[in-house]
Amino acid sequence: PDLEKDLQQFATGITKGLDAWQRLQPYLVSWIYDQSRGQLGFGGTPEQRGPWILWAKQVNSSFPEGLFNTIALEKSIVEFASKASIEASNLVELVLILQCLQRGLVEWFDKLIYDAKVGAKLSISTFLTFATIWCQLANGFQARPRLTNSCFQVALQIFRAFSQQEYFPLYGGIFASFSGEYLQNALSYLDAPLQIVKGTQAKARILTLLGYSQQTLGENLKAMEFHKKALEIAQETEDKFCEIANLNHLSRTCVAMQDYSEAINYSQRALMFSRQIGDKKGEANALANLGFSEVFQARQQEMMETEIYENAINYLQQGLKLSESLGDGQSKSLCFSSLGIAFMVLEKPEEALLYLVGGWQAAQYSGDLYLQGLNLAYLAQAYYSLQNLEQAIFAGCLGMYLLEQIGANEWRQTAGLMVVLKGQLGEDFNDILDRKRSEILPVIGVDGYDYISELLVKYQQSL
């Protein structure tokens, strides 16, 4: 009787799921063309963007409808699941609905030939959004292990499919699609299903993504943990591209932790392996990391020999040249910003300026908010050193806002500089900000512009 009951539940769930998908299909991408919904993405309020409210109206079943409304209103999926009274048929129905939506969206985004970069960005966002939903449902169903396990299995299936895509973001880039709050929430759930599987290529790649996300959020120890585990699995599964990516990320994380000799060690290994297998993106990143680490180590050890710095800057310029030939906006932005930061460390703000402006432009093109914010933060310092206070305020306020939005710790450093400038300039600071309003609005909108003053207050109150 149990088997018969289970089969009946499956049959009911499949029938209802297919029926719901037929109603949803015409609305799969219609929300994208409704300009009143604002920019593409899965975050934000229901009025701003995202398909969830629209989809909730099409399904004729309380469980998926409740879930879609929960997501649209940014309420807790975990709490929703913990209170939901459902049977296996409801979960089967939801699996079908969400799988059809996810696959349909990815297929559609992957066909955006007019702008493959936008398509890839949206596909990445789709994979991660749907995986996060399943991880949060699993967490909510903790009191019902069978349901939790089923949700984890669906999440792992999504991870496997995602990890096989050629645009899988081994070097960052997921900050184009998520706000900091959403991402921090997602990161706290995404590693749970990975704990139930052994070392696979998919596991190594998802751990890589979790690692560099944690580093951006300032969680360097967590980042090290994820990258070391990912490196170990990548070596076991002979995924060379993933192995090189993790060596590069470990190098960058070591710089953040001021362990420059280890940073140099990791980047040298990444450079050697990438050249062995012809991984040009890995090589460009390794050159950037090696040069970057050497500049910081020489400065820490108070070395004055120009030859050491010339050597390091040569690595950075090689990396920049390589990333330009690849047309890889993200690696290019990393090399530009690394060169800019290196020249700031060497107290050469005029030279730094050229690279940091290029870095910001490349980061805008690739859509990486972290690199945009980082370049702007150092641009503000360069302009301040050159006493171009108007541009320092423009770059600083923008950089501070972008970094805070994705939860990156560096926003505080830039806020500190802005508070110093505000103290020096008094009311002139607000006048400059007002004059720059027309340049700031296209980047962060009216809400972002209004939030700048709040951020400065938030920083001062935290001191």
Looking at the structure, tell me whether residues 173 and 146 fall in a common domain: no
- Whole-number Å distance between alpha carbons of 313 and 311: 6
Looking at the structure, tell me whether residues 118 and 188 fall in a common domain: no
- Whole-number Å distance between alpha carbons of 460 and 316: 36
Q: Is residue 110 part of a domain?
A: yes
In tens, the pLDDT along 134-154 reads: 999 999 999 999 999 999 999
Q: Is residue 353 part of a domain?
A: no
Q: Does residue 178 register a pLDDT over 60?
A: no
Q: What is the pTM of this model?
A: 0.82
Looking at the structure, tell me whether residues 321 and 247 fall in a common domain: yes
Looking at the structure, tell me whether residues 388 and 316 fall in a common domain: no
In which domain, by residue range, is 374 found?
A: 358-463
- Whole-number Å distance between alpha carbons of 243 and 255: 19
Q: Does residue 195 register a pLDDT over 60?
A: yes
Q: Is residue 213 part of a domain?
A: yes
Q: Is residue 151 part of a domain?
A: yes
Structure tokens at 114: 């007019």
Q: In this predicted structure, what is the pLDDT of residue 184? A: 66
Q: In this predicted structure, what is the pLDDT of residue 201? A: 92
Q: In this predicted structure, what is the pLDDT of residue 183? A: 64
In tens, the pLDDT along 396-445 reads: 999 999 998 877 778 999 999 999 999 999 999 999 999 999 999 988 88
CATH of the domain at 252: 1.25.40.10
More confident residue, 33 or 190: 190
- Whole-number Å distance between alpha carbons of 289 and 341: 12
Looking at the structure, tell me whether residues 395 and 440 fall in a common domain: yes
Portion of the chain with pLDDT greater than 90, in percent: 57
- Whole-number Å distance between alpha carbons of 101 and 130: 9
- Whole-number Å distance between alpha carbons of 127 and 101: 11
Looking at the structure, tell me whether residues 174 and 57 fall in a common domain: no
Listed residues 326, 349, 371: the one ending a domain? 326
Residue found under tokens 């641009």 = 379
Q: Is residue 380 part of a domain?
A: yes
Listed residues 168, 199, 222: the one ending a domain? 168
DSSP string, 246-290: HHHHHHHHHHHTT-HHHHHHHHHHHHHHHHHHT-HHHHHHHHHHH
In tens, the pLDDT along 299-311 reads: 788 777 778 888 9
Judged by average pLDDT, the poorest of 82-96, 184-198, 221-235, 259-273 is 184-198
Given pLDDT bands bounded at 50, 70 and 90, which one contains residue 36?
very low
Looking at the structure, tell me whether residues 131 and 95 fall in a common domain: yes
Q: In this predicted structure, what is the pLDDT of residue 115? A: 65
More confident residue, 40 or 101: 101
Q: In this predicted structure, what is the pLDDT of residue 37? A: 45
Q: How much is the average pLDDT of 231-254?
A: 96
Q: How much is the average pLDDT of 286-303?
A: 88
Number of domains making up the chain: 3
Q: In this predicted structure, what is the pLDDT of residue 39? A: 47
Portion of the chain with pLDDT greater than 70, in percent: 92
Q: How much is the average pLDDT of 206-212?
A: 91
Given pLDDT bands bounded at 50, 70 and 90, which one contains residue 461?
very high
Looking at the structure, tell me whether residues 288 and 414 fall in a common domain: no
Q: In this predicted structure, what is the pLDDT of residue 116? A: 64
Q: In this predicted structure, what is the pLDDT of residue 179? A: 53
Looking at the structure, tell me whether residues 7 and 60 fall in a common domain: yes
Listed residues 280, 302, 326: the one ending a domain? 326
Average pLDDT, the chain: 88
Looking at the structure, tell me whether residues 364 and 319 fall in a common domain: no
More confident residue, 287 or 176: 287
Q: Is residue 403 part of a domain?
A: yes
- Whole-number Å distance between alpha carbons of 356 and 361: 9
Q: How much is the average pLDDT of 259-279?
A: 97
Q: In this predicted structure, what is the pLDDT of residue 35? A: 43
Q: Is residue 102 part of a domain?
A: yes
Q: Side-chain half-sphere of 19: how many Cα atoms within 13 Å?
A: 12
Q: Is residue 334 part of a domain?
A: no
In tens, the pLDDT along 353-407 reads: 999 999 898 888 766 778 889 899 999 999 999 999 999 999 999 999 999 887 7
